[in-house]
Structure 1
Amino acid sequence: MATTVLDAPPNMAALFAKAALTARGRGGDLPDTRLARTGVTVDPANLAGYARVCRFPLGNALPATYPHMLTFPLQMALMSDRAFPLALPGLVHVRNRIDVVRPVAATESLDLEVWAERFATHRSGATVDLCASVSAGGGEVWRSRSTYLARSAKAPAGAPDSDVTVEVGELGSPVATWRIPDDAGRRYAAVSGDVNPIHLSGLTAKAFGFKRAIAHGMWVKARVLAAVGNRLPEAFTVDVGFRKPLFLPSTVTLSTAATGGGWDAAVRNAKSGTEHVVATVRPS
């Protein structure tokens, strides 16, 4: 597997434009390619902005979801490349798992690497996993696996079945109510660089088949972790299933339950009870 090392993060807006222009006629298997960056340092101003938007307290360690911000542009570069078999416009983020091997200091120099694997069959189409690894001082400190669904697509013959299920136990009554404003997508895009049009406004979301703009799934995941952040172990796994789009604006509830040193959680619509996100947090 060939690894290409980039000197700078790719431009996300340019990647979205490229993906839209090259969406037609894709196919084949996953590319045998990895993208990497080395010696990456965190911008304190960006970290502070991210913490503010996601409700994390500022501290010495990075929030568990922050390294996703560093690796996501590399994943976007993979998915927008013409060799990637699935068209990026229309891909749905259905699951994300993060493993925090140890706390990552905001001042550490980080090496990033991303790749695609597990082209799988799903009842609604096909899924693919975008994987990321972050290392510091010669050892892995963080990893993630993001599963994306392409509706009506077909995986190669003999592909495995997709695994997108995240199950939580009984959660009881909500512990918090969040009123999500209509600019939540734009605020998160400003700190993350994820300028996917479905998150920015109702007008741009409608162009991709959504009735209103929808919240970034990784922002909702970050909000869940921020809510239980002072009760997390140093090393843990957080696995999230993205169930239904969270349209903006919305009022949602957070329900949690302690489970064997970890947590189960769900974010639901305050009126209908529709589940938007379910999450499990487990010590590792």
Structure 2
Amino acid sequence: MYSKAGIAYVDYFVPDQEILMEQVIQEIDLSNLPASFNNKKEYHQFVDEILGVKAVRMSITDDSVMLDHLVNRMFQRTELKASDVDVIIFINEPDRIKGENFIQAVKHRHSMENAYFMNISGNFCSNGEIALTMASALLNGNPSIHNVLILGSISISDNKDRLFSSYAVLGDGAALVLLNRQARLKVLDSVILSNGGFYNIKITDDNTLLHFKFTRDCLSKMIAENDLNTQVISDIIIQNANPLLVEHAMESLGLNTNLIRKNFSSIGHLAYLDMFVNLKNFTKGDSSDEKSILTFGMGFSGTYA
């Protein structure tokens, strides 16, 4: 029996350049505001007071530059060789990146020619959790696979696309995660629920009740399937976004929301990369920390993990 897969290394990159929320909101049309807001002033007040977002990070380079930086840093900081990477999982949404299929170029530039790669998309902001689940399954089920590298990037070209309903404001950045069986920070289990009825959902619609139901169902299933004693959880990591819905769902299941690590105001919501960003920040990248960490990610198209 193979040991459980775990996270051996995690890192992220965000650009230094910022764009103020005042500028973002000035550039958008009223039609781009979430349905629950009547005007730009009302929405700006919500972003400022509830989300606490003053500015988000903005990339002025190609996504591959951010990923190159992370890959170089990983090889400098670890004993991993390019030839040791067996699988690369790239997470993205086609409309959130600059350029097409650049991950092949990143792979070639860093001589990771032994690795095959796959793309995870369609789950939007929960793509990261899906990728982590896939990487764990590959390591736990195939003895010939030793190292799985997850790469992801997000770069928004049009500032009006940074507004993600009343949930978040999108920033730019990239993240990298290395999984293997030697890591001490183990991936113990994951639960994924998907509602196909959300296939034509609009970001500006208010779907709070449906999101609450499936958020609660996903968390409840995780607790039940693992006979989880919620007292053993030392940290809860959620997305860098409006925490109210997730907090209410967790409270209804007896989870201690004081354990939630909040980081949503500093760099913006990096979509499917938030879990990795927060894991790096709150564990200081030290995989030897023996903690019971619960993470949760939600994709607006109806995927909960």
Category of TM-score, reference length = shorter chain:
under 0.3
- Give the structure with the larger helix fraction: 2
Larger strand percent: 1
With normalisation by structure 1, the TM-score equals 0.26
TM-score, structure 2 as length reference: 0.25
